[in-house]
Amino acid sequence: MDVNEAIRKEAAIRRYSERTIETYQNCVNRFFKSCDKEAREVTKKDIREFLENLSEKSAGATIHVYLNAIKFFFEDVLRRNMRIDIRYSRRPKKLPQVLSKEEVKRLIYSIQNHKHKLMISMMYSAGLRVSELINLKAKDLNFKEKYGYVRGGKGNKDRIFIISEKIERALMSICLGKNKDDYVFITNRNDKYNVASLQQIIKKAARNARIDKRVSCHTLRHSFATHLIENGYSLNEVQALLGHKSPETSMIYVHIASPKMINAKSPLDRL
């Protein structure tokens, strides 16, 4: 059996994204390399032992991906009942890196190139993933209603995002003359940007702004969510804007913001 082809065929029926398909293929291949058995010979014990060994050196989120991939292969591709009960924590060992509002401002203003500045501003202002930014098309922006669409985001889900008033005019200007299927941001060679080039822009900006933290494109998304919580928005609102399936995923930003939010005085202090 061609494991990769079997996964691709079933995943395509379910309209999984290309990234998810490749991830599932890699996870299942790694399992079979470790297990060294034919698919029909694999037992629940084999899967449990593999995941338990993996959990000793991997985070809970990683175990969750492997578990989903293996279950998908055996239950959905091979139609076998492989209900696996394994305990692991999905909470990350470390809280994600977040910039303060002042650091975000310094980062953005340190960028001299106007188009690059707009791209970084938009990633922060809308909480976009870098892949979502570079795949954004002119038809995805609704300036009249001041929101945009992420089409086929992580998990192949669509969602809306807010367009900041501060960058609205610059966005409208860059979209002038574009066809609806044209990318919003293209290089000087008329090519689509890639993830690596955006990461380099961010790293250079962080150095110029003298920010002593590890900063990546995703840091802006973490900062966007944390600052929304600090500004009084609800967990449900943040979850919707980030496109998270579960509120538990968004809860981490409450943990980050909490120390800055506790300004209330205990009623005991007023007795």
Structure tokens at 133: 């930014």
* pLDDT recorded at residue 270: 61
Is this model's pTM higher than 0.85 or not? no
* pLDDT recorded at residue 93: 53
Average pLDDT, stretch 207-236? 89
Supply φ then ψ for residue 115, to 5 degrees: -70, -40
For residue 264, pLDDT over 50 is answered with no
Q: What architecture does CATH give domain 101-261?
A: Orthogonal Bundle (1.10)
> Do 167 and 147 touch, CB atoms closer than 8 A?
no
Residue-range domain boundaries for the chain: 3-77, 101-261
pLDDT digits (tens, 9 = 90+) for 47-86: 888 888 887 666 677 788 888 889 899 988 998 877 776 6
State how far the Cα of 22 lies from the Cα of 24, in Å rounded to an integer. Answer: 5
Count of CB atoms situated within 10 Å of the CB of 202: 22
Average pLDDT, stretch 244-249? 68
Domain 3-77 has CATH 1.10.150.130: yes
> Do 129 and 241 touch, CB atoms closer than 8 A?
no
* More confident call, 168 vs 87: 168
